[in-house]
Amino acid sequence: MSGLTIDADRVGQRIERLAQIGKISDTGVCRLALSPEDREAVEVVRGWMEEAGMTVRLDGFGNLIGRLPGKDPNKPAVMLGSHIDTQPYAGRFDGIIGVIGAIEVVQTLADLGVVPEVPIEVASFCDEEGCRFNKGLFGVRGILGRLEDGELERADKNGVTRREALLAFGGDPERFEESRYELGQVSVFLELHIEQGPVLETLGRPLGIVTGISGPLWWTVDLYGFAGHAGSVPMGLRKDALVGASKIVVGLQALASSEPGAPTVGTVGSMRVFPDSRNIIPEHVQFTIDLRDIDLPRRDRLERQLRELINEVAEEHGLRVEIREDTNSEPRYCAPRIVDTIREAAMEMGLKAPELMSGPFHDSLAMSYYCDYGMIFVRCKDGISHNPKEFSSLEDIALGTELLYRTTLQMCGT
């Protein structure tokens, strides 16, 4: 590929290298946060950061952070990055291109002998996905002092707590305080990411400029009924928790689809049934709810309707209900000055990059509460993500990395 400052081949080789860690199929990856596979990948990424001339540390939250001092090491840093943990049934690009692309930006500066005016930090944040402990953005929220009570005691499906996994990984709650960022240490956060949706492919554009991120609402819902013999308890006398859960799942689908054309999405992605026997009426069902919208008043209205639905179902079937709020974030918009800078850099590259919202959340969502942020989206085939079929071409990823490089230079005043 001609006209690029960055090394596209190096980017491609590094993507393939990480894809071998936690590999579950030809294109599939499972690299859960704080797992041995995640730790192996961190060591590989550490080597790349050091090769690019950064000093590197693994902080108390499990974040891997590299730093290039710049001409004035005391000025607020420009931070780039994303995450390398994955879903249990994942592809090779989600989060990964943001970390590899960020390292490539610094590596390119080193190759060209360019010293930025201000420090640059590259972050590979711990547990963005949130699938293992049902609470995401752990590492980035950690450095910002935004963790909630009880997060270290959350357990995965095998009963391992986050505290135990973090200590085994190399993090340490005793180092949380020293790992937190003071206000003003970072001035800008930039993240390169695959779109995880079909808009760019539909428009025939390799790159997009993110204008904001939808606000996610995550719940864990527990429904408690009463177990009984599946062959002897009459239908009218049952307290079947799974029947109640099924009605809520269908109701969520209807609510999220109630306004044609709206970007609202609602998902039940995980469910557990107890005692999980074909011959026993389900007594306890636990399931997750994920509700997202860029329009906060609309999401709030749907949340109220969903609570009403859950209570009505529970009353109808004689169930007890508990709702735990795991995540609740408002939509967060990108800084106009960064959007303008990315747009101008794209035009210099001869690219017309559409501007679009992000439905999925990213590490940028947490960083938006701390400093100005901007995101670059890379086209992905059929909009598929969180699936081994997830794919973005090296040509598109290289263009995105080049755009990140040029934007970073502007943000650093270099």
Specify binding-site residues for Zn(2+).
Answer: 83, 94, 129, 193, 386
Q: What is the DSSP annotation of 312-342?
A: HHHHHHT-EEEEEEEEE---EEPPHHHHHHH
Q: How many helices (H) and strands (E) does the chain have?
A: 12, 14
Residue 174: CB atoms within 10 Å: 9
Residues near 5 by Cβ (< 8 Å), separated by ≥ 6?
108, 112, 402, 405, 406
Question: Which residues make up each annotated binding site?
Answer: 83, 94, 129, 193, 386
Crossing angle for the helix pair 96-112 and 8-19, to the nearest 10 degrees: 140
Residue 356, Cα to own-chain centre: how many angstroms? 17
Phi, psi of 108 (to 5 degrees): -65, -40
Cα 161 to Cα 133: distance, rounded to the nearest angstrom: 8
**Structural contact between residues 198 and 356, judged by C-beta atoms closer than 8 angstroms:** no
Structure token pair of residue 181: 């960022």
Q: Classify residue 55 by burial, with Cβ atoms within 10 Å: 0-12, 13-18, 19+.
A: exposed
Q: Are 351 and 207 in contact (CB under 8 A)?
A: yes
Identify the CA nearest to 161 among candidates 128, 131, 132, 129.
132
For residue 275, is the peptide bond before it cis, meaning its omega torsion is within 30 degrees of 0?
A: yes
Q: Please tell me the distance from the alpha carbon of residue 289 to that of residue 221, in angstroms, as a whole number.
A: 7
Report whether 81 contacts 363 (CB < 8 A): yes
Give me the helix-helix angle, 241-256 and 296-317, nearest 10°.
160
Contact 270, 220 (CB under 8 A): no
Residue 24 DSSP class: -
